[in-house]
Structures are given as structure tokens and as C-alpha cells.
Chain A
Amino acid sequence: MQRWILGNKNKIVLINGSLIAFAFASKWMLENLTLFHWGLAIAAILGVLPIAIQAYQALRVKVVSIDVLVTIAVTGAFLIQNFEEAAIVTFLFLFGAFLEQRTLIKTRSAIKELVEMAPETALKQMGDGEFKEVSVDEVDVGDVLLVKTGAKVPVDGRVISGEGSVNEASITGESLPVAKEVDSYVYAGTILDNGTIYIKADRVGEDTTFGRIIELVEEAQDSKSAAERFIDRFAKYYTPVVLLMGFVVWLISRNLELAITILVLGCPGALVIGVPVSHVAGIGNGARFGILLKGSEVISDFSRLDTMVFDKTGTLTLGSPSVAETEYYGGQSEQALAFLGSVERESDHPLAKAVLEAIGEVELYDVSDTEVIKGEGIIASVDGHCVAVGNQALMERENVRINEKALADLKRLEKNGSSQVLTAVDGELKILMGVRDQIRPGVKEDLQKLSRLGVKNLVMLSGDNQGTVDVVSSQLGLTAAHGNMLPEDKSQYIKDLMERGEIVAFVGDGVNDSPSLALAQIGIAMGGGTDVAIETSDVVLINSDFRRLPHALGLAKAIVRNMKQNIAIAVGVVLFLLAGVLFSDWMNMSIGMLVHEGSILVVILNGMRLLRYKLR
């Protein structure tokens, strides 16, 4: 019975509403007051049923919910034979809840779309070698799966045979298909555009990259800010207090009508729902644009951002520098190049790649006793020679003499913004290479957007020399730029800013900048390695797309604005109703309920605007 009533709430609202319409029609058109009263009385009894059941369930687990307040109020109205009020209040309450449900589904639609992109079935190779369709939950690590054209890749895994092209937009935001062949890695939730592949499951379910993204989004939308936790705690005691207040008013004034009006007016409607609604719509908008804001604290901090600090290489620049100039000193250049190639082959420094590309094919030697000096370079022993590869500081450390011509070359390179790779063999300078990194296309416009959004300082930090840094800085129009910085200098710099009370975001590659990323209130990792970037960032940009940064900041600000509006609406409504009951004689239960339900819809609709938010 209970289940049936709750399951058919919508039908009950309809009948309840029709009965009320019928009652008023009989009063005005037939002038039949008996029908009027009977119609309303039946409507009230029918309408209060589902509310009373919910109230009972709430009381059983020791919660004084809104349903309890409304049930008492309606019963009270019924007792003093005010059927009109009793019926209308139940109708408004039920119909309001119905509209709330409808509109809430809309605010959550963006995230729902994301969740629905998750694969549900997989073609799994069974014991007999045949492939059978199973639920993704039944796929274990190590299983062999078949993916056909048009199907979703069910888990993260490696291609073991076949080939095809995969649309990875759900993971990387990149809509151009990516070719996959044997040994390529494929991600759950991506779609095989054409071809057929067999994959071996590597990560399944919530452990897949896509699963992690969904989980983080879901956690983010339900994470609560300090303000929200306060509202929750407040709401817990608020309803019992209202109940008590109604009772006290009745004891003093012996006016049941007034007492039950207070119960209805006291419903904490818009206040409780306003903030979560802004939250879910805003985070949903982000998810659509490839931005994940991890929770309310992040949104709140991000929206009040003072300073944005960028790592240079790989963040503001493409991070794939190339050798622009090469100078040779002394003889035996060929041998020196071969030594340089041998040393750089073992390094994963971004400059090493550029150097190797520039050298091309050379004879390679065995390298031993390699010593990496942080921020300076590498010293190693190659074919019995001591080879030092690195910057000017390393040369000084190794007491390498730098002649006049080399000094002039260094100056020139520093001026045009090149990083310098010097190579010394047995303490004698042999090669100087100038490596330049290109600025990421569009970065300048994005930075301008960020400062228009109210970021006061745009700062660049880099391990490169000051000359390089200044060149990039002036091209981009940054507030400040500091070179020659080691990872610990960068985190110290951020610490200093924060001690001055600034709110700081750090944008870095997520590998060697992790201390700074962790330290700043807002860490944003741009590393192509999706896992690291997702785990360490407070704001995750899918595919590490720099262009999404201004949208992310604008969105955070819009969400906070929206929450404040909703709180203002909710508090305003309560004050209005309170004033109404104290200073006017037209305020009654029905109007109170109407205003309440109206304000709930207003905050939901206001929150929904965030779904359409776009940076101008």
C-alpha cells in the first residue's frame, strides 16, 4: 500500500489537482457549497497520504523532515475545517516536488551524459576460444576481448592483434581518430571507428582512466564546501525548531491557524537545494568542455585567484624544442658530436631529444660513470674521455675555459631566447648548440583572457636562463618571469606568494614540478600522461589543453556567483515570508507554500543557467 501510494505520486497530484478545480468550479458556477467542501476535503485527504507516509518514515529514523511539518499543518487545517487551505497546500507541495524532480534531472544531465558513455558490455574470449558478450563487470585483468567496428572499447588494454582507428574524444577531447596497431594502448570508453582489434585487459572497471574520470566527477559534484556543511547542520536543527516554534505560538495565542501557517512558512526549501544545484550544473558544464573542477573548495579558491604561476617548458611553450644554431670550437668536431649523441641518448631531458634530432645518425659509444647534476647537465665518461654536456654553470664547475668567440655566441643565444647546450671533451669546449622552444599557438590570447577575468599576476618560472625567459615573457606580455630556477626554488616562490596571502594557481607539467603543484592552492598539471595529470591536479584539463584554462576560470567564477545568488534568493524569501506573517493579514498557508515552491524552482532554474555557460 505504502509503496503503491509513493509509486503513484504523480497520479495522486493529478487527481488532487482535478478535485480542487472541480470544487472551485462547483462553488463559482453551481454555487454548491456542499460539493465545494466535499471536493476539497477528499483532495486534502488524498494529497496528504503520500506526505504523511514520508513523514512517518522520516520520524522512524528520527528525522523531523519537511514532510512532518506539512503533515501536521494540513491535519491542523483539516481539524479547524479549513479544507481549502489543506487541499491547496498538499497540491502545491506535491506538484512542487514533481517540478523539482523534473528540473533537477536537467541540471544533472551533463554528468549523466558522461556516465552513459561508459561501456556496458564486452566480447570476452571464453574457455573454448569463442567470444561471448558479457557485462563489463565480468571482465578481469588479463582477459582477451574482441572489439568490432563501431563498438566501445570496454576496458583499458593493449592491442594483441588486428588494427583500426579509435576515436578517443571521451578521454583526450581530440576528435581525430588515432591509428592503433599491435602493442598500442587503448582506453575504455573510446570508440573503434573502423577495423577490428583484439585486446588484453590491463585495467578494468573503476581503475580505467575513464572510470577514474567519472568517479572524480561524481566525487566532485557531491563534495561539500564549509558553507554547505553549515547549511546541512543548520537544516538538521532548523525543522525541529520550526515545529517547536509553531507549538509555542499555539500555546500562547491559542490560534491554530497562525501556528500551522508558521509550520508551512518554516519549510527550509530553497536554502538546502540552492547550493548543490549550482554545483552540479557547473561541474556538469565543465565536464562537457573537458574540464574537471575537483570539488567546492577548489571552485571557491579558484574563483578568487590572485596569481597564476606557469612553468615555461611544455606549458607556455610546446615543450618540443629544436636546435636552431650550432657552433663548433677547436677541432675533432665529428668525434665531439658522436660523444654528445652517446651521452644524450641516455637522457630523458627535453633538450636531449632536440639535440639528438639535430645530430642525426652518428657512431655511438658506450657511456659510463654518468653523473647528472640537477639544473646543470651531465658528466660522463665516453670512450676514455671525460665529456660534460650542459649549461654555462656546468662548464664553470668543470673549469672549462670559454673563449671570446664562444662568449659572444652565448650572449647572442641568450638574447634570442635559446637554451644553450655546451659540450666539453676533456675540459675543452667543443660544441655550442642553441635550442629554442616555440610558444604554444594561442597562448597569448588565452593569457589575455585570464587577465581580463581578473587574474592580477601572470608569472612564469623556468630553469632556463633569464635571457630566454625574458624573451618569452615579453612575447607573451607576462607580469613577471624568473629564470634559473630549480624545482625547489619554484616551490619556495609559491610559498612566499601564499605567505603574503595570495591565492595561487600553479600550472606545470606534473612531473618535476610536483612539489609546486601540491603546494599551490590550485594545482593544474599539463602532463600528457593522463594518470599523473588527473591525480595531482585540482583542476583537470582533459588532454592537457591549455585553451580550456580561461573557460575553467570563468566557470569557477560563474559557479560561485550563482551559488551566492541562490543563497540570497533563499534567505530573501524566508525574510519576506516572515515579514508577511508578522506585518500583513493576507499571508496564509497556501501563499506561503506557493512562494516556497516558487523559490525552489527559481533557484533550480538559476542553477541551470550554468549548463549553458560559455566564456565570452
Chain B
Amino acid sequence: MKAATIQLETLTCPSCLQKIENAVKGLNGVEKDSVQVMFNSSKVKVNFNDEQIEIGDIEKAITALGYGVKKSSVKSV
């Protein structure tokens, strides 16, 4: 299991949160309850199983919605 913190470009609409949350939750290998989209700091925190999915795939799901990813950091848990 890995824990990722993904720094996004500044989020400006609260409804973005729900989109990102649903998109990330919908990915296979992502621990659904761990998904946390932080509006003010424009960050996504998520735990995922690195045997099923890579951080790049999660980033791709977010950029596909039109939100830029600045930087991700992944830690083992």
C-alpha cells in the first residue's frame, strides 16, 4: 500500500472537488475511503495498491478532467 499526496494547480471551484473525488475513487486499486481532495491547499491525498495501479495512472485521471498536476509524492505505508 502506498500513500500519495498530489499537488494540483490551484483549484477554484468547489464543484471541482467532487469531480476529482469521483474520478479518483473510480480507479481500480485506489482505497476509496482514503481519497481526500483539499480545496484550499489544492491537494489530493490518496492511498493505493501499487500492484494494481501506478501513481501515473491516478495523475492521468485527474489531468483528463482538465486539472493540472504539479507534483506528486508517494510514501510507503
Contacts and interface: CB of A to CB of B under 8 A. Distances in A.
Contact of B66 (A54, A101, A235, A273): A54
Contacts of A61: 19, 22-23, 26, 65
Contact of B39 (A54, A105, A235, A276): A276
A54 B73 CA distance: 27
Interface stretch (A62-70, A314-322, A461-469): A62-70
A509 to B, nearest CB: 31
A104 B9 CA distance: 13
Interface string B13-40: 1110011001100100000000000111
Interface of A is mostly: helix
B27 to A, nearest CB: 11
Contacts of A276: 14, 39-40
A367 B7 CA distance: 58
A221 interface: yes
A105 B10 contact: yes
A218 B65 contact: no
Contact of B14 (A97, A221, A273): A273
A441 B41 CA distance: 38
Contacts of A293: none
Nearest to B16: A65
Interface residues of A, number: 31
Contacts of A273: 13-14
A218 B41 contact: yes
Contacts of A104: 10, 12
Nearest to A59: B19
Contact of A222 (B15, B40, B65, B73): B40
Interface string A203-223: 000000000000000100110
Among B12, B14, B40, B65, which residue has the most Cβ atoms of chain A within 10 A? B40
Contact of B15 (A3, A6, A63, A111): A63
Which of B22, B26, B41, B73 lies at the interface centre, i.e. has the most chain A CB atoms within 10 A of its CB?
B41
Interface residues of B, number: 19
Contacts of A235: 14-15, 18
Given A61-B23, A61-B26, A97 B13 contact: yes
A62 B65 CA distance: 13
A66 B12 CA distance: 13
Interface in A91-124: 97, 100-101, 104-105, 108, 111
Given A97-B13, A100-B13, A57 B41 contact: no
A2 B40 contact: no
Contacts of B13: 66, 97, 100, 273
Contacts of B41: 111, 218, 221-222
B15 A66 contact: yes
Interface in B36-66: 38-41, 43, 64-66
B19 A63 contact: yes
A255 B76 CA distance: 58
Given A100-B12, A272-B15, A63 B22 contact: yes
Contact of B12 (A67, A101, A218, A279): A101
B22 A101 contact: no
Nearest to A54: B66
A54 B23 CA distance: 13
A58 interface: yes
Contacts of A160: none
A54 B43 CA distance: 20
A547 interface: no
A222 B65 CA distance: 22
Nearest to A271: B14
10 contacts: A58-B19, A61-B23, A63-B19, A97-B12, A97-B13, A101-B10, A104-B12, A236-B18, A276-B14, A280-B40
- Which 8 A-B pairs have CB atoms at the shortest separation, nearest pair first? A222-B38, A61-B22, A218-B41, A272-B14, A101-B12, A280-B40, A221-B40, A61-B23
Interface of B: 10, 12-15, 18-19, 22-23, 26, 38-41, 43, 64-66, 73
Given A57-B66, A58-B19, A218-B41, 4 more contacts: A61-B26, A61-B65, A272-B15, A276-B39
